[in-house]
Structure 1
Amino acid sequence: PFTPVEHDTTQEVYTLLHSMSHALVSTASDQCGLATESISEMIMPAIPAIVLYAKSAEHFALGGMATLFETRIHPWVDHTIDYTEQCLLDPPCSRDETGAACHACLHLNTVSCESMNEYLDRRRLVGGYDSTPFWDI
């Protein structure tokens, strides 16, 4: 089970990485042909890093992920930046006090998400209120 993040700085880093991970997973299928449900994540806030991996060990899934990282990384990240700037449920989603993340933008199915869609906020990536957009750094 997921252990809650108790340290404030670690929670901020985790929220940034987790939001970025969900955005990348949500747009990966456009770039590599794998379904969103077949990609999982691992968040490591102490490093800080994320690991995205295919749940299947079949050659197609592994080859699709390898090709994505080797040849499509820049178009994938560019598409992800565009993707995170909007949500079908804006403005209510982007104004949510608990975090700008919903089933229309950053939520993944619970099998793919290591923390059950907690600690997500699109504003960490694109800005809003008092946060500097990470994508602009």
Structure 2
Amino acid sequence: MPYFLPEELYYTTNHEWLHVDENLATIGLTEYALERLGEILYMELPEEGQHTTPGHTLSSIESVKNIHDLISTINGTVLEINASLIEDPTPLNDDPMSEGWLFRIEMDNERDLSSLIRSRDYKALISK
């Protein structure tokens, strides 16, 4: 299946995407991750104001097939969560790259982006 992988986004090897606008990173799950998870049953999102560091578990998403822990790749502070997904995760499955975003982080340092990959490398990763 061809996946929608905009070139302007950053990706993690754990199948998350990051849209970066200055020092604000909006984070969500890729279509690839969601296809493997199946129907989302429950999710735990971080708290607004929570500080995060690389390697720290930010979110846990349970599905009919698996549990996906979202591990932070950047230093920063959670500014906003998409709380509507907790009640109804449908947008996460239906429109993961837009309405299905999970949370937004104010990044402490843009250099953290150097540990992420771009669209072309992510495509290579998921085609293995």
TM-score, normalised to structure 1, is 0.29
Instruction: Indicate the structure with greater helix content.
Output: 1
Instruction: Indicate the structure with greater strand content.
Output: 2
Greater Rg over alpha carbons, structure: 1
TM-score, normalised to structure 2, is 0.31
